[in-house]
């Protein structure tokens, strides 16, 4: 299925999420995203895990170009998982913003009391 021209910059995340969400209920023969939704959450989670592994493998055994390409696969499948679980990108941005400026070391120490 076709979509509008690519969006430059980080806005691509929001634009791609909108396309992904619009694929719900679409004929699985017409859209890879619709096929993932039709196969269900276990399949989506498996793909997400597989793509995460491929990013790590590219980092360890291949070059930056492969890391870029596998990262795009991972982000796409992560967003399919967000859409399937009803998570909007804005919720993730808000969580990142909430954490911004807090050292991971300090956060871990606070959790352990």
Ligand X SMILES: N=c1c2ncn([C@@H]3O[C@H](COP(=O)(O)OP(=O)(O)OP(=O)(O)O)[C@@H](O)[C@H]3O)c2ncn1[C@@H]1O[C@H](COP(=O)(O)O)[C@@H](O)[C@H]1O
* 14 is a contact residue toward ligand X (CB under 6 A): no
The owner of tokens 């592994």 is: 53
What is d(CA 44, CA 40) in angstroms, rounded to the nearest whole number? 6
With contacts defined by CB under 6 A, name the span among 28-36, 60-68, 87-95, 103-111 that binds ligand X: 28-36
Least distance between ligand X and beta carbon 3 (Å): 5
> Rg for the chain (alpha carbons), in Å?
17
What is d(CA 60, CA 24) in angstroms, rounded to the nearest whole number? 36
User: In the structure encoding, which two tokens stand for residue 80, read together?
Assistant: 């399919």
Least distance between ligand X and beta carbon 88 (Å): 17
With contacts defined by CB under 6 A, name the span among 31-39, 57-65, 84-92, 95-103 that binds ligand X: 31-39
* 19 is a contact residue toward ligand X (CB under 6 A): yes
19/92 with CB nearer ligand X: 19
Closest C-alpha to 78, from 28, 20, 15, 4? 20
**Site of interaction with ligand X (CB under 6 A):** 1, 3, 16, 19, 23, 31-34, 73, 76
């Amino acid at each position: 299925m076709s979509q509008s021209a690519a969006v430059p910059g980080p806005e691509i995340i929001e634009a791609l999420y909108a396309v992904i969400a619009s694929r719900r209920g679409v004929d699985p023969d017409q859209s890879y995203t619709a096929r993932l939704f039709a196969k269900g959450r276990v399949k989506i989670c498996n793909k997400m895990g597989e793509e995460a592994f491929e990013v790590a493998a590219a980092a360890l055994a291949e070059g930056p170009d492969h890391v870029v390409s596998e990262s795009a696969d991972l982000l796409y499948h992560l967003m399919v998982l967000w859409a399937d679980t009803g998570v909007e990108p804005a919720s993730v941005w808000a969580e990142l913003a909430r954490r911004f400026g807090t050292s991971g070391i300090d956060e871990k120490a606070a959790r352990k009391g």
